[in-house]
Amino acid sequence: MSDSECDSQFYSVQVADSTFTVLKRYQQLKPIGSGAQGIVCAAFDTVLGINVAVKKLSRPFQNQTHAKRAYRELVLLKCVNHKNIIFMYVADVFFPRYLVMELMDANLCQVIHMELDHERMSYLLYQMLCGIKHLHSAGIIHRDLKPSNIVVKSDCTLKILDFGLARTACTNFMMTPYVVTRYYRAPEVILGMGYKENVDIWSVGCIMAEMVLHKVLFPGRDCILLREDPQSFMLCKKFTLS
């Protein structure tokens, strides 16, 4: 296929402050979320006749770190197949910068402060743990579990997404100490200790508490402040070592 024929399959559209250059099959792009890893738009796939989510990765080739995160997310989404993990349409990865995934109705941030009954809350947590168990069984640590990285549908179906910080648990390399959003960061991560899959379980616990309390359980301003507070430091160390 010539360059001109290839170019004819794409078009550019301005979405908020970003330009999306996507295949013409994806129409009616509307922004639905953004973060450190990129911007996500809802779109209509005219070929499949369904709504999808198109994620534009943020500067995937700016440096080695960004490239590794983009590569990890692409590989993990391609390989992991579970009903509680977001599904990626592998054939629709284009320009290495764009990923096309199934579209959900909302992220957990938008429903976490609702008055959920015990049945719905239990079902959401159960699905969360099922997805994490599948990842851990495959030797994968998510390392960035938080409400904005968990999406739901109106029927209470839940899926985990955003694998830019995920790593294999059996690696021989030193784990990055600065991972997981601060509110959901396990004590061993804060204290710069070695960590394994259980840091994801801590994050799930923090999310569960937030669903019950309707507020962040540990609203720390800076992880360094914990080190400067001997009482809090020793308390976290006690929980980690016990």
Question: What is the rounded distance in angstroms from the CA atom of residue 66 to the CA atom of residue 72?
Answer: 10
pTM of model > 0.85: no
Q: Is 144 a catalytic residue?
A: yes
Domain boundary among 86, 102, 118: 102
**CB pairs under 8 A, 24+ apart, for 213-222?**
214/112, 214/113, 216/183, 217/183, 218/183, 219/183, 220/182, 220/183, 222/182
Strands (E) located in the chain: 10-15, 18-23, 26-35, 38-45, 50-57, 98-102, 106-107, 140-141, 150-152, 158-160, 167-168
Which of the residues 144, 162, 200, 229 is marked catalytic?
Answer: 144
The secondary structure of 130-171 as a DSSP string is HHHHHHHHTTEE-----GGGEEE-TT--EEE---TT-EETT-
Query: Quick one: pLDDT at residue 1?
Result: 52
62 and 117 together in one domain: no
Instruction: In whole angstroms, give the CA distance from residue 184 to residue 139.
Output: 21
A 10 A CB-CB count for 121 gives 17
Does residue 143 share a domain with residue 166?
yes
Residue 141, number of CB atoms within 10 A of its CB:
24
Q: Is residue 106 within 8 Å of 158, Cβ to Cβ?
A: no
Q: Are residues 37 and 18 in the same domain?
A: yes
In a domain, 5, yes or no: no
Distance CA 186, CA 195 (A): 9
pLDDT at 224: 52
Give the least confident one: 105-119, 128-142, 188-202. Answer: 188-202
Q: Are residues 98 and 110 in the same domain?
A: no
Confidence of residue 4 (pLDDT cuts 50, 70, 90): low
pLDDT digits (tens, 9 = 90+) for 117-169: 999 999 999 999 999 999 999 999 998 899 999 999 999 999 999 888 888 87
**What's the pLDDT tens digit per position in 6-27?**
668 899 999 988 899 999 999 9
Examine the domain organization and report whether 15 and 28 are in the same domain: yes
Close Cβ partners of 137 (under 8 Å, ≥ 6 residues apart):
none
What contacts 31, CB < 8 A, 6 or more positions away? 15, 16, 39, 40, 41
pLDDT for 207-216, tens place per residue? 999 999 999 9
The DSSP 8-state label assigned to residue 76 in this structure reads: H
Q: Which domain holds residue 85?
A: 11-102
Last residue within a domain, chosen from 45, 71, 102: 102
Query: Could you tell me the two tokens for 72?
Result: 């990890």
CA distance 49 to 46: 5
Taking the C-alpha atoms of residue 232 and residue 230, their distance in angstroms, rounded to an integer, is 6
What pLDDT is recorded for position 188? Answer: 84
- Number of domains into which the chain is organized: 2
Residue 95 clears pLDDT 80, i.e. is over it: no
Residue 228 reports pLDDT greater than 50: no
Q: Evaluate whether 14 touches 50 at the Cβ level (below 8 Å).
A: no
CATH of the domain at 74: 3.30.200.20
